[in-house]
Amino acid sequence: MPELVRVRFAPSPTGALHTGGARTALFNYLFAKRNGGTLVLRSEDTDAERSSREHEASIAADLRWLGLGWDEGPEVGGPYGPYRQTERQDRYALAIARLVEIEAVYPCYCTPEELEAERAAQERRGEAPKYSGKCRALTAVQRTGLEAAGRVPALRFAMPAREIYVEDLIRGSVHFPAGTLGDFIVLRPNKTPTYNFAVVVDDSDMAITHVIRADEHLPNTPRQVALFEALERPLPLFAHVSMILAPDHRKLSKRHGARPIAEYREEGFLPEALVNYLALLGWSPGDDREFFTLEELAQMFSLERASKSPAVFDEGKLRWFNAHYLRAKPLPERAELFEQAARDAAGASMQADEGWWQRFAAAVSDHVEVLSDVPREVAALQAEEISWSPDTDVELASAPVRELLAELLALAQSDRKDRFAGVVSKDGLKALGEKYGLKGRSLFRPLRLAVTGSEHGIELPLLLPLLGAPRVARRIASSLQRSTTGRRE
């Protein structure tokens, strides 16, 4: 382990932060914290057409929402800046000059059409596509002629004719035989650097000691190792974390199943739940424990417990985690979250005092997995018209049930609110049921159907005070009228 650990998270600001990127950022954050190191946020913004400062800002906002701060980066600064690739052209120019000086690169005049034809021919022969290297052998006269014809060259790095081993902290020794990788472009015809080149210069300049990233980058690593060696710069240690799969076991990606972190935030997931779940995708604490704070994760995290095997992203399990974190919050805090979620949703606002929201939170917590579920529960309480179960008419047909409902209706309509409050407690409902020979299921099922139209839901001693006497009265009157009309028909 280097004396000073320095890691980086280097997203391309071409869109929103998705789950895979967030997991990579989390692992870098945890590794830095565990080892007293530094986390660098770097913006790989060389894709001029797709990159934007707006995307960069949204990625930063999502990281902050997750609780993943960084020590150096855009807007924060630091001793190894600038931290945007578009602001580092002078650094790339120096590195290119060195590669030219040692003849590690050569101009390539191939057009995209020629390269595509070469690739197609290799595939027809059953060969792995790679650049043939034909521009390597061009003479000075041939190069001059091509440039006179209007061809603007790219610069290709000449891969050494030897095998390359990558010692990966998660996957062990990975072998890339000689000749399997073709020469690759480091500088495009428009003088912009490619990913494999820029990342080597950046990681070297910023003294990055550990590169922790998704395993989709593993095939790039031998190219980067060769560049580090050509530039005579020290190699970082590499750790390629396991792939995340969708439930159908296809790779989770922006095009297949991966959702932006901002969507989870808008839907009402808690950052601590999302962080906890992401940490367990490709890492294990070594026991059966599942719930960790960010601070606990930072104390326990190690690459030795990172898995080589792909992890499956299960949104149902994530919702389960979120429900746990919601229910673990103190009731006043949970009530505040529920109230805000209801007021933020169109048509789901309610004029109620703090006490009502706390009773509401206590009553519906078992029915809420994410905060976006809250407006549904509020709407069910607010509704003046309710849907009726097919069994409602039958359940409300008996004389004892109708008499009980009639008395409860009268109490709800009474000017004495204490009388209604007294009867809707658990003991009060039982006493009222005994008066008419009703108890257990024969009491609570028809009563629930009368006030909700459904057989399941919040416990009645919690539900009835939440509905309030006026709404209970209207719903009972409507159910009695409906059941009477149904019997006549």
Catalytic member of 254, 308, 317, 430:
254
Non-local (6+) Cβ contacts of 63 within 8 A are 9, 17, 22, 25, 41, 69, 70
- Name the phi and psi angles at 400, rounded to 5: -60, -40
Q: Tokens at residue 262, please? A: 């901002």
Q: Does 308 qualify as catalytic in the annotation?
A: no
Which residues form the catalytic set? 254
